[in-house]
Amino acid sequence: MKTLFIAGVSGSIGKQTLDVLNSQWFKENFRLIGGSVYSNWNDLENLIDTYHLQAVGIVDDLYDLPESYKECRIFKGLDAVENAIKYCEADISLIATSGFSGVKHTLSSIDVSDRICLANKESIVCGGNFVLNYAKKLGKIIIPIDSEHSAIFQLLLGEVTRPEKIILTASGGSVRDLPLEKLESVTPSVVLKHPVWEMGQRITVDSATMVNKGLEVFEAYYLFGIENIEVLINRDSHVHSIVQFCDGVFKMHFGIPNMKVPIAFSLSYPERRYDFNKPSLADMKIEFEKVDYNRYPSLKLAFDILGNPILQNAFNAADEVAVENFLRGEIKFTDIYEVIYKTVNEVEKMFSPSISLEFRSLDEIIKVDKHSRKVAKKVISEINKNNKMDQYK
């Protein structure tokens, strides 16, 4: 029986992991011993009751929580997740925190766990090779959960030849068919209705701008060491990704789009143990479309800065800030790209002397993130000022 810690246990990936753990083979082979949230105490309390957890982490200290509850240690505050991960020393840590804070959680889990099942893409996007090298140095294995990267990981099992090209597929997101001129006025509630996947709020907005695909391009580049990456739209998301070899042969990963499948695979690897729906190929059409970069300028920008971890970090930070503002109704959907573009350019000027360097420490990664957020907030206040002036014209 393997022990498991889930960071971000109250989120979309966290909850789907709990569903996987409730299925027969996983119930018999894994024991959940810890988890973390940002503020969702109710979820943690239920899990402590159900799984008799050893430790939990809660970042928000709004609640007056005791040091322990039913023999479960409760860590609180900014370092709560890292402390809970280290206290539990689980065989496997599954990192499903959203956003930049996941970087620290991944690094802590590499210290104590043998296997890291990684949903938090920011860990690789914002640090470049830093996190992967740390895992390599300590002899730990990282299994990607993102469906596209899980697909490529699976497609390459048993291959001795590196593919020449990776093709990442994208659904196109919630506003893929909206006329371009209407994008400016689209509301958060429309953007949050994804045609295929049910996910957390940020990733759903990022899917509509294809910022998420940009983050996945960065992630694929570092995970698989291949620069030749293309993105194609596969509307129903049944093709999770493709690799192409020197002889022109494509290998493609096809299945029902459901995150429980890659989550389960990351836990049971190298075996497949999750019993799930079996689609019939005769009922399916496999179709791809090219990406229109006028609709998805952020993806074009992502390709332009691929391989530069400082600018990738800025790209992510600016997007996190912009999406929060968009969801609060403070900027327009199309402003998200403007915030990212201007932030990346500003950060490039600031860090240009060290621009091609790899990150050497977590502190350096945090420094770029903090600076980029400051720049992004400044860009947003300029956008708001201009918008107000336009109203008076």
Ligand X SMILES: NC(=O)c1ccc[n+]([C@@H]2O[C@H](COP(=O)([O-])OP(=O)(O)OC[C@H]3O[C@@H](n4cnc5c(N)ncnc54)[C@H](OP(=O)(O)O)[C@@H]3O)[C@@H](O)[C@H]2O)c1
Is residue 127 part of the contact set for ligand X (CB under 6 A)?
no
Which residues touch 189 (CB under 8 Å, ≥6 apart)?
A: none
125, two tokens: 């996007």
Closest to 76 in 3D by CA, of 96, 97, 61, 86: 61
State in angstroms the smallest separation of the CB of 184 from ligand X.
25
Question: Which residue number, 299 or 383, has a Cβ lying nearer to ligand X?
Answer: 299
Cβ proximity to ligand X: between 238 and 342 the closer is: 238
Residue 152 binds ligand X, judged by CB under 6 A: no
Residue 188 touches ligand X, criterion: CB under 6 A = no
- The distance of closest approach from Cβ of residue 37 to ligand X in the complex, given in angstroms and rounded to an integer, is 4
Nearer to ligand X, 222 or 351 (CB): 222
- Residues 248-307, interacting with ligand X (CB under 6 A): 259
- Pull the structure tokens for residue 34: 């810890």
| Three-class SS state of 338 | helix
Nearer to ligand X, 237 or 351 (CB): 237
Candidates 93, 106, 146, 240; binder of ligand X (CB under 6 A) is 146
User: Position 393: which residue type?
Assistant: K
> How many CB atoms are located within 10 Å of the residue 196 CB?
17
Q: Which is nearer to ligand X, 121 or 371 (CB)?
A: 121
Nearest approach, Cβ of 182 to ligand X (angstroms)?
Answer: 26
User: Would you put residue 148 in left (φ > 0), alpha (ψ -120 to 50) or beta?
Assistant: alpha
Q: Does 14 bind ligand X (CB under 6 A)?
A: yes
User: 57-65 — which CB contacts under 8 Å span 24+ positions?
Assistant: 57/7, 57/81, 57/82, 57/83, 57/84, 57/85, 59/101, 65/41
Q: Which is nearer to ligand X, 188 or 200 (CB)?
A: 200
- Which residue is closest to ligand X by CB? 11
Using rule CB under 6 A, residue 129 touches ligand X: no
Q: Which of 21, 92, 119, 220 binds ligand X (CB under 6 A)?
A: 119
Q: Are 322 and 330 in contact (CB under 8 A)?
A: no
The window from 86-94, 153-161, 192-200, 281-289 that contacts ligand X (CB under 6 A) reads 192-200
Measured CA distances, 262 to 143, 357, 388 (Å): 10, 33, 46
Alpha helix ranges (H) inside the chain: 12-21, 24-29, 41-51, 80-88, 102-112, 122-125, 129-137, 147-155, 188-191, 201-209, 211-224, 260-268, 297-305, 309-327, 335-351, 362-391
Quick check: 203 binds ligand X (CB under 6 A)?
yes
Both tokens assigned to 316: 């992510």
Residue 89's Cβ-count burial label (10 Å; 0-12, 13-18, 19+) is middle
Distances (CA, A) of 137 to 5, 107, 129, 133, 164: 22, 12, 12, 6, 27
Number of residues that bind ligand X (CB under 6 A): 30
Binding string, 34-73, against ligand X, x = CB under 6 A? --xxxxx------------------x--------------
Residue choice 8, 127, 163, 214 for contact with ligand X (CB under 6 A): 8
User: Which C-beta is closer to ligand X: that of 178 or that of 196?
Assistant: 196
Which is closer to ligand X, CB of 195 or CB of 200? Answer: 200
Candidates 12-20, 274-282, 341-349, 364-372: pick the segment binding ligand X (CB under 6 A): 12-20
List binders of ligand X among 94-113 (CB under 6 A).
96-99, 101-102
Which residues are near ligand X by CB under 6 A? 8-14, 36-40, 59, 81, 96-99, 101-102, 119-122, 146, 197, 199-200, 203, 259
